[in-house]
Amino acid sequence: MSQQSNETAENAKSISDGISKNEGEVDLLQLIRVLWRGKFLIIGVTVIAAVISVFIALRQPNIYRSEALLATDDSSSTGGLAGLAAQYGGLASLAGITLPVNEAGQKAVGLAKLQSRQFLGEFAFRHSILPELIAARDYDSGMGELIFDPEIYDVVTKTWQREVDPPLKPEPSFQEAYEEMMGILAVNEDPLTGFVTVSVTHLSPILASEWVTALVSDLNREMMLEATSEAQQSIDYLSEQLEGTQIVALEQVFYSLIEEQTKTIMLANSRPEYLFKTIDPAVIPERKAGPSRALICVLGTLIGGFVGVMTVLTRRYAFGLGKEA
């Protein structure tokens, strides 16, 4: 009796598995039939999406990227002071004097300054590039001129026409200039060689090249001015300390430090490229960096096909439309 019951249960399970398998096959075939009946809707949505994506891709203006390859040597500006700090640091600390040691390195400071709010904002206002930075809409490659959006900037009267909500004003602010600059600027450092690549992306290939060159030049100038100012302040301070000490060993420390700071000033004034030396200068790019119009068209078509399939399935299973009679 027990054996007969087991056989009956096994047969029922086999029948149930067979039914589930058949239902799965039926569901798959039914899904294929539903999609086949809605093929014209799927094709129509896909074609419309493809046409729209082509239209959008063709309306996108070309953008160009210009870049410069830079090199630097931290030891040239900090090696002398680091050596003196190691040699005379203990003796100077006894006299209550802390020798200057650049822990971060001039290169790290320079890269941070290049991407800082203060530097980029001042760069945009100093070179008067706000219209080209914010209001440019397209570029006429034949004339070599930018085309501005009249709703943002009036080229004739040179006034800002954009409508913004407070606290913003028609004329872009310092912070807006910084955000726009960060959107087109890229700074990359090779971890193996230490070389730095500075690039700018813009509608105008000419401006992209000019701005890269100007950014590197302004950065070198600011770093040079800061180095000479700090060195002069150090010389003044060390000279005062030298007058007030009677210890011969400390006098030797002060003289050595003053000598190193004097070398820093001489080196800064003699090198236009104080920190970053240009290995490969920025040039006017001849080929566009974007947009990828083919990719826009492919993605648009795929999205259209997906929307078409989901529309057919939704109409069939959510609303019960398109059922067989």
Sequence-distant (6+) residues with CB within 8 A of 125 are 174, 177
pTM of the model: 0.74
Kindly tell me if the per-residue pLDDT of 92 is higher than 60. no
Q: Average pLDDT for residues 79-89, to the nearest whole number?
A: 48
Q: Which residue has the higher pLDDT, 119 or 320?
A: 119
Q: pLDDT tens for residues 237-255? A: 777 777 777 666 667 777 7
Interval 4-50: pLDDT, tens: 455 554 554 554 454 444 444 447 788 888 888 888 888 988 999 99
Q: What is the pLDDT of residues 254-276, one digit of tens each?
A: 777 777 778 777 777 777 888 89
pLDDT tens string 209-224: 999 999 999 999 998 8
Report long-range pairs for 310-317 (Cβ below 8 Å, ≥24 apart).
311/38, 311/41, 311/42, 311/45, 312/34, 312/35, 312/37, 312/38, 312/41, 312/42, 313/31, 313/34, 313/35, 315/38, 316/34, 316/38
pLDDT, tens digit (0-9, with 9 covering 90-100), for 161-198: 998 888 888 899 999 999 999 999 999 999 888 899 99
Mean pLDDT of 96-101: 50
Which of the given ranges, 9-18, 243-252, 280-289, 305-314, has the highest pLDDT on average?
280-289
pLDDT digit string, tens, across residues 221-234? 998 888 888 878 87
99-147 per-position pLDDT tens digit:
554 545 788 889 999 999 999 999 999 999 999 999 999 998 888 889 9
List residues bridging with 157 in a β-sheet.
none
- pLDDT score, position 153: 93
